[in-house]
Amino acid sequence: MIAIIAFTAIFVLFVYVWQWRRRLNRPFLSIPGPPGLPVIGNCHQFIGKSSTNIFHMLIELERLYGSVFKVDVATGIWLFYMSPGDIERIMTGPEFDCKSDDYDMLLEWLGTGLLISNGNKWFTHRKALTPAFHFKILDNFVQVFDVKSTILARKFLSYSGKEVWIFPLVKLCTLDVIVETAMGTESNAQSDESGYTMAVEDISEIVFWRMFNNVYNTEFMFKLSSKYGTYKKCLETIREFTLSIIEKRRSTLNVFDKNEGKSEDCNDSTGLKKKMALLDILLQTEIDGRPLTNEEVREEVDTFMFAGHDTTASAITFLLYAMAKYPDVQQKVYEEAVSILGDSIDTPITLSALNDLKYLDLVIKESLRMFPPVPYISRSTIKEVELSGCTIPTGTNITVGIFNMHHNPKYFPDPEEFIPERFEVERGVEKQHPYAYVPFSAGGRNCIGQKFAQYEIKSTISKVIRLCRIELIRPNYEPPLKAEMILKPQDEMPLRFFPR
């Protein structure tokens, strides 16, 4: 009797789930995608897969199904878009302005900082924080970029031509930069080997693993998993580091107040504080008619620390690799850097000199095309929308494949060849479709740190290249890639550096 009741209950549940999933799938019938199983959809295809495997699966799915496809993750359908027309719609349409559910996995770490927040909170914070990236402010940061990249270049040379795993070293450098600029706090991560970057590395991997693993999607199951302990430890390390930075800056500002403004941070003739840090805005400005709470400050600091160091580290790492792989490009970058900045690395760099490095601009663009630091971004529809001939219901998760689009031969002929000249104005590759090349995203939710990143990358590369000649560890070495939230070299990118 009990067996019959249990069997009937399971059967009813199965029919219910099956019907519910049929309704869920109905709007997307015209969109192609890999065949799935009746109740779990494509979930089983992601279980046990590493971030490298998942990245390759997404590339393969695009090859099989084209630039629009779906993946059935049992609790919903994920739509993937990889053509410029659709991406223009998604990046500029207010109905796509909301971040998708998978960003929820970041909530405990980043809170609702600028990257994840939506609606009024996002709008007011974005407006208040935009001045922290004003041209005049960036001008003050160039000196920090310069000092920190000199330390990095000297570290590379200290390996005397032996193999160096550059990604961890570059991350420490970009961490120093973001802490000393945006947070206005002295940082020596390159000499003190901060545990922060390792914690970010581990937590990013865990968060990505959860995004594609439906079993551990729920809090309850995640807490039972073997990764939960590491996750909590990482959070603790990150939190401790962030709070110490906020505390240090608060004390500096208190001293500044007591000295009635007589400090290194005095106003200059433009009326902007000479070293007004993003953190100062967070600590001193009223948003929505009130100061930010400690938790709101912490969320933004965590957000900017992460978004501002891991992305630029990825960009610089792949650029150094590209120059090692293409010695003729490296030579041209070197010659331009010496002709504009001189060969003495002690001469301070200026923003206007960086603007004159035109060939380096092309090389950076090409590297961000081939290796976009943010390979995928996700949104959720806030109302029913038409996209690519399909009516998409409210609350559907949509992923934009920046990496895939940047490698599409239709928009970038010979996409696997490194050709900086394709970005020359006369060739007009960017004009062909303005949304075919979007390493910093576009529209209202584009990267607030784009200019900051571009100057930091330019400053770092022009410094390293004037001090070092870069070589691959062996001819034709190709780094295996992994894509979590950030595109990374799976093996930490080994390269060799020799003095000029």
CB-based contacts of 221, cutoff 8 Å, min separation 6: 215
Torsion of CA 297, 299, 305, 311, to 10 degrees: -140
Nearest distance from residue 304's CB to ligand HEM, in Å? 5
Taking the least distance from each CB to ligand HEM, the nearer of 385 and 402 is 402
Token pair for 100: 């998708």
Give the integer Cα–Cα distance in Å for 127 and 292. Answer: 14
Position with the least CB separation from ligand HEM:
449
Find out whether 447 is annotated in a ligand binding site: yes
Is the C-alpha dihedral spanning 154, 156, 157, 158 positive or negative?
positive
Give the integer Cα–Cα distance in Å for 359 and 365. Answer: 10
Nearest distance from residue 194's CB to ligand HEM, in Å? 17
Alpha-carbon radius of gyration of the chain: 24
- Chain residues binding ligand HEM by CB under 6 A are 114-115, 126, 178, 182, 303-304, 307-308, 311-312, 315, 373-374, 377, 439-441, 445, 447-449, 452-453
Nearest distance from residue 418's CB to ligand HEM, in Å? 17
Nearest distance from residue 146's CB to ligand HEM, in Å? 16
Taking the least distance from each CB to ligand HEM, the nearer of 345 and 448 is 448
Backbone angles phi, psi at 283, to 5 degrees: -85, -25
Taking the least distance from each CB to ligand HEM, the nearer of 351 and 448 is 448
Q: Contact at 8 Å (CB) between 493 and 317?
A: yes
Give the integer Cα–Cα distance in Å for 362 and 421. Answer: 7
Q: Contact at 8 Å (CB) between 341 and 466?
A: yes
Taking the least distance from each CB to ligand HEM, the nearer of 33 and 449 is 449
Taking the least distance from each CB to ligand HEM, the nearer of 211 and 448 is 448
Give the integer Cα–Cα distance in Å for 170 and 176. Answer: 10
In three-state secondary structure terms, 387 is: strand
Nearest distance from residue 108's CB to ligand HEM, in Å? 18
Q: Contact at 8 Å (CB) between 205 and 106?
A: no
Token pair for 172: 């420490």
Q: Which residue has the tokens 């199983």?
A: 37
Taking the least distance from each CB to ligand HEM, the nearer of 437 and 497 is 437
Taking the least distance from each CB to ligand HEM, the nearer of 418 and 437 is 437
Nearest in space to 369 (alpha carbons), one of 438, 442, 462? 438
Nearest distance from residue 88's CB to ligand HEM, in Å? 14
Nearest in space to 315 (alpha carbons), one of 277, 258, 366, 349? 366
Taking the least distance from each CB to ligand HEM, the nearer of 40 and 88 is 88
Q: Which residue has the tokens 């930010």?
A: 292
Nearest distance from residue 325's CB to ligand HEM, in Å? 19
Give the integer Cα–Cα distance in Å for 316 and 335. Answer: 19
The bridge status of strand 481-483 relative to strand 290-291 is unpaired
Nearest distance from residue 457's CB to ligand HEM, in Å? 6
Torsion of CA 235, 402, 311, 216, to 10 degrees: 10
Nearest distance from residue 144's CB to ligand HEM, in Å? 12
Taking the least distance from each CB to ligand HEM, the nearer of 36 and 479 is 479
Q: Give the residue ranges of the annotated binding site for heme.
A: 447
Q: Give the residue ranges of the annotated binding site.
A: 447
